[in-house]
Structure 1
């Protein structure tokens, strides 16, 4: 498969604290790739660097390359024009904008846009079209609307930061199906999570801990390693591995 996003030896220190310690990652075109890891592993910081948000336009060292284009230093809108978008862990609020207006704005370059279908795919019905994207929606509802906006947009790469955040366990199937639909519609998905259940829908998964990539491979194998690594951690407690 052809690489779409390549992260080469990315290092980042914030307030004298190393956050990313030489991260290497390849996301192939047309795949769902999960990044799994505990809180504080550096997953969301990596997502911010890919999108260029939170004043993180460039790593201290290393490169982030999207379709042979260096992303280092680019503004958010420049990355968006290339086809990169990000769904926030905490979905945004837009006072005075209805869900229908939000989805139509997101999908303005999608000639096949069907806003009702986008809502249905994230488990919401057409009654939400007239709702406002503000605090009248619960956090879980806003999360679904934001994911529907990405379906409407059809970017080349969607970075989903904790797409299961604020979503109850019974709704996980909706989210999983929506992510699969993104791929079917031609969007490559980089999904960041700390739940191995959602990571299992990926084609490949990468385990991160303490700002490092521990392993990339089969999602089920990575999920099993994630479940046990906090007890017997090869990164933070190497002396516990192999009887050392």
Structure 2
């Protein structure tokens, strides 16, 4: 269980997150839905503990009743928190096989690695490729997602999981989310697309750094389509968005 307590974050220019509170339950999938600029990625970076974020916010982060607020990114990773970035990393000279084995405590067979590559739409020919510029951004993103499924982490943050992936269908992303859920991982998907949010168990509407509403993905997606799709009022949300009205 991951608890966020009174999380606030500001820069010299503006407040990004404003006294945000939420509890993510173990083994459930969540989507954080909102327009660009409302604080979604900042929230993800704070949970992950990126440099420049983990010490500069107010509030507490509790993982399984342990306060991890002051832990760095590597310490949080050892606690089971991981994140898939919008722009996946390159590792010159590292093969896909070695990359998939990174941090994995279980003995991986070749069949295991092929299975997880197939899950993200890649075949076994990729195993001997290197995770570098010879792969497209979309291919590296798929390999990163496969590695995360293999890790079976406690908390997974997917920042715009469909970003940079050519022709990756919603059904494939849904399969990845289901595999993570089957591993009892808590999944937090950051997205500005209601179609992606519909793949989660629960959805949160973020606006102006605050949770404006929460409930079923269908309910939140409907609000988003009606009030947020064409909204230019990023820093001052429309008054019609009811604050924290829960619809189950």
TM-score, reference length from structure 2 = 0.89
Write out aligned runs for 1:120-199 (5 A): 120-169=118-167, 171-199=169-197
Q: List runs of 5+ in structure 2 lacking aligned partners.
A: 243-248
C-alpha separation in 2, matches of 1:148 and 1:65: 27
Tell me how large the CA RMSD over aligned residues is.
Answer: 2.0
- 1:64 pairs, out of 61, 64, 79, with 61
| Shift of residue 118, structure 1, vs aligned partner | 1.2
Query: Cα deviation per residue 1:72-101 (whole Å; 9 max; x = unaligned)?
Result: 121111101111111111111111101111
Cα shift readout 1:157-209 (whole Å, capped 9, x = no counterpart): 11111111112455232122111111112211111111111111111010101
2:211 alignment partner, SS class: strand
Structure number with higher strand proportion? 1
The one of 2, 7, 14 aligned to 1:10? 7
Q: Residue 221 in 1 paired to residue 219 in 2?
A: yes
Paired with 1:13 and 1:223, the residues of 2 have a C-alpha distance of: 27
User: Deviation at 1:238?
Assistant: 4.1
Partner-residue secondary structure (3-state), 1:189: strand
Output the CA distance in 1 between the equivalents of 2:240 and 2:114. Answer: 53
Question: Which residue of 2 is the match for residue 236 of structure 1?
Answer: 236
Query: Where in structure 1 are there 5+ consecutive unaligned residues?
Result: none
Query: Does the Cα contact within 8 Å between 1:214 and 1:235 map onto a contact in 2?
Result: no
Aligned length: 238
Query: 1:74 maps to which residue?
Result: 71
Paired residues of 1:31 and 1:183 also in contact (CA < 8 A): yes
Superposed displacement of residue 48, structure 1: 0.5
Task: Give the counterpart of 1:110 among 106, 111, 121.
Answer: 106
Q: Which whole-Å CA distance do the structure 2 matches of 1:26 and 1:241 have between them?
A: 21
Contact 2:9 2:15 in 1 (8 A): yes
Between the aligned partners of 1:69 and 1:239, the Cα distance in structure 2 is 37
Residue 26 of structure 1 aligns with which residue? 23
Contact residue 57 and residue 73 of structure 1 kept, 8 A: yes
TM-score by length of 1: 0.91
